C-alpha cells in the first residue's frame, strides 16, 4: 500500500482504529493537510500524533478550503503541485499515509487530490463526526426500516427542504453556513435538534435549545435533527 488515506476519527485520540494505528506505525512518511499555508497546524495530526514513531517525517500540505468551482484555477494550482510532490515520494517507493479528520469518504479533501495521483490509493475508514454525535446525544440515527440523510447547509435550499421531508432523522453539517434556514425548517417541519460543537476537543458543547441558532455558531458544529 504505497499511499493510504486514513480517517483518524472525530477528535478523541482513542476513537481511531487499530488498523489506522498500525498503518501510521509502518509509514515512511505522514502527510498532513493544513488549512492555512505554512501554519503547520492540523486537527488530524493532533489526534494521531501519539501514534507516530519519533523519527517518521511529517509533511504538511496546504489545501485551499474554498469550493473548487469558486476559483478553479487557484485550487487546481495547489492540487496539482501537491499531487506532483506525492507522486515523487511514491516514485521513490515510499509508503505514505495521508491523515484525514473523521472518515476519508465523507467530505474529505483527499477525494480531490486522488485524481492527481499516479498510484492506486488504499483507504482505512474512520469514525465520522456524526457517529460520534449520535454516541453523545444517545439518539439512534435510524431504526428498523427508517432512513437518515447527511446534508450540508451550503447545499441548494430546495434540496435541503426535500431532505427534511424524506428522512426520519438528519445529520446537518456546516450549520454555521445558514442557521436561519435551518431554524425555519426545524419549525416548519416540527422537528427537534441537538447541536454539537467542537466534538472531542476541550471546548466541546452540546445544546438542545433552538435559540442556539440565533447566536455565534462555532465552525465545527453539526446538528442531529429528529
Residues that bind its own copies (CB under 8 A): 7, 9, 12-19, 21-22, 67-68, 103-108, 111-112, 114, 121, 123-128, 131-132, 134-136, 138-152, 154-156, 159, 162-163, 165-167
What is the grid cell recorded at 163? 431532505
Q: Which is nearer to its own copies, 40 or 72 (CB)?
A: 72
The CB-of-35 to its own copies minimum distance in angstroms stands at 16
The CB-of-97 to its own copies minimum distance in angstroms stands at 14
The CB-of-81 to its own copies minimum distance in angstroms stands at 21
Q: Please report the sign of the dihedral spanned by the C-alpha atoms of residue 174, residue 180, residue 181, residue 184.
A: positive
Residue 199 per-residue DSSP state: T
Nearest Cα residue to 33 out of 43, 22, 24, 47: 43
The CB-of-1 to its own copies minimum distance in angstroms stands at 12
Nearest Cα residue to 24 out of 61, 62, 52: 52
Q: Which is nearer to its own copies, 65 or 91 (CB)?
A: 65
The CB-of-46 to its own copies minimum distance in angstroms stands at 16
Nearest Cα residue to 212 out of 203, 222, 202: 222
Q: Which is nearer to its own copies, 73 or 211 (CB)?
A: 73
> In whole angstroms, what is the distance from residue 94 CA to residue 40 CA?
22
Q: Which is nearer to its own copies, 114 or 185 (CB)?
A: 114
Which residues have CB under 8 Å from 103's CB, separation 6+?
7, 125, 126, 127, 128
DSSP run (H or E) holding 100:
strand 96-100
What is the grid cell recorded at 219? 465552525
> In whole angstroms, what is the distance from residue 83 CA to residue 119 CA?
11
The CB-of-193 to its own copies minimum distance in angstroms stands at 16
Instruction: Please state the φ and ψ torsions of residue 223, each to the nearest 5 degrees.
Output: -120, 140
Q: Which is nearer to its own copies, 32 or 126 (CB)?
A: 126
Q: Which is nearer to its own copies, 163 or 182 (CB)?
A: 163
Amino acid at each position: 500500500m504505497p499511499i493510504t488515506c486514513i480517517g483518524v476519527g472525530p477528535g478523541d485520540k482513542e476513537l481511531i482504529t487499530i488498523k489506522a494505528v498500525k498503518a501510521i506505525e509502518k509509514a515512511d512518511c505522514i502527510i498532513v493537510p493544513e488549512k492555512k499555508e505554512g501554519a503547520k497546524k492540523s486537527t488530524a495530526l493532533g489526534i494521531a500524533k501519539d501514534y507516530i514513531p519519533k523519527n517518521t517525517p511529517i509533511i504538511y500540505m496546504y489545501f485551499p478550503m474554498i469550493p473548487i468551482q469558486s476559483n478553479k484555477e487557484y485550487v487546481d494550482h495547489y492540487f496539482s503541485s501537491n499531487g506532483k510532490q506525492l507522486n515523487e515520494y511514491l516514485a521513490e517507493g515510499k509508503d505514505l499515509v495521508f491523515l484525514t479528520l473523521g472518515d476519508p469518504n465523507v467530505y474529505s479533501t483527499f477525494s480531490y487530490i486522488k485524481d492527481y495521483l499516479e498510484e492506486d490509493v488504499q483507504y482505512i475508514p474512520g469514525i465520522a463526526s456524526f457517529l460520534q454525535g449520535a454516541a453523545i446525544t444517545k439518539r439512534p440515527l435510524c431504526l428498523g426500516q427508517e432512513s437518515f440523510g447527511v446534508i450540508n447547509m451550503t447545499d441548494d435550499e430546495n434540496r435541503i427542504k426535500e431532505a427534511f421531508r424524506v428522512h426520519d432523522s438528519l445529520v446537518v453539517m456546516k450549520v454555521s453556513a445558514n442557521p436561519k434556514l435551518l431554524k425555519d425548517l426545524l419549525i416548519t417541519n416540527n422537528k427537534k435538534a441537538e447541536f454539537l460543537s467542537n466534538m472531542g476537543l476541550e471546548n466541546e458543547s452540546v445544546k438542545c435549545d433552538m435559540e442556539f441558532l440565533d447566536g455565534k455558531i462555532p465552525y465545527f458544529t453539526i446538528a442531529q435533527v429528529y
